Chain A
Amino acid sequence: EDQVTQSPEALRLQEGESSSLNCSYTVSGLRGLFWYRQDPGKGPEFLFTLYSAGEEKEKERLKATLTKKESFLHITAPKPEDSATYLCAVQASGNYGGSQGNLIFGKGTKLSVKP
């Protein structure tokens, strides 16, 4: 069964304290791994797509990496405005319920950055 597990569930950092969020996955053929940011009561906001092991993507203070079993979202010198829930999702290359387009999400990591 395709599955995504994110850890930790919650993370509290001081402003400037770098850390990493983990996303481990099992999927029958990875088509893509996605990172989203979600603010309370809003829809997920796209951050990155990774397609193959060894790939890395960067955007401001965020850097996403991918291995064959997991992905990391590294946050360097975070600011209070980085506080949000970060969601990881995978897209399977197999036919999942007849669809190749749906995403399988983890439960997310809730990040709080204190000034």
Chain B
Amino acid sequence: ETGVTQSPTHLIKTRGQQVTLRCSSQSGHNTVSWYQQALGQGPQFIFQYYREEENGRGNFPPRFSGLQFPNYSSELNVNALELDDSALYLCASSLRGRQFFGPGTRLTVL
């Protein structure tokens, strides 16, 4: 158990819709990162939040955005969904350089 939870577990959306994924980190873990994992691939870094501010982003367009809240929860928002956005979305909270992953949200875009 990593103490990192994500909701929902599964989600089905249609192309063009918007989606919000949620993550709850362990108390004291003030850094959260989000990753996208396509089938058969390793996770790819989307962005990272530290003390409620974005402080790093991977090669993802602006329609991927996020928020981090003071209670160690965070959100990933994706606008204008595309078929290629279908993937497992993982959040990870960090403590002393080690990242602990949640179980992920499986997003399917039809």
Which A residues are closer than 8 A to B by beta carbons?
Answer: 4, 31-32, 34, 36, 41-46, 49, 87, 89, 91, 95-108
Contact = CB atoms under 8 A, between A and B. Distances in A.
Interface residues of B, number: 32
A61 B90 CA distance: 27
A32 B99 CA distance: 12
A102 B41 contact: no
Nearest to A6: B42
A44 B56 contact: no
A80 B43 CA distance: 25
Given A42-B103, A99-B47, 15 more contacts: A32-B97, A44-B101, A46-B98, A46-B99, A49-B97, A96-B56, A98-B56, A99-B57, A101-B31, A101-B33, A101-B50, A101-B97, A102-B56, A104-B45, A107-B42
A98 B55 contact: yes
Interface in B95-110: 97-104, 106
A68 to B, nearest CB: 20
Given A99-B55, A99-B57, A41 B101 contact: no
B7 to A, nearest CB: 13
Contacts of B100: 46
B94 A101 contact: yes
Nearest to A9: B40
Contact of A102 (B4, B42, B58): B58
Contacts of A42: 103-104
Given A42-B104, A43-B102, A97 B43 contact: no
| Residue among A45, A100, A101, A108 with max Cβ neighbours from chain B (10 Å) | A101
Q: Which among B56, B57, B98 has the highest number of chain A CB atoms within 10 Å?
A: B56
B88 interface: yes
Nearest to B1: A45
Nearest to A98: B56
Given A49-B97, A49-B98, A103-B45, A44 B90 contact: yes
A46 B96 CA distance: 14
B42 A101 contact: no
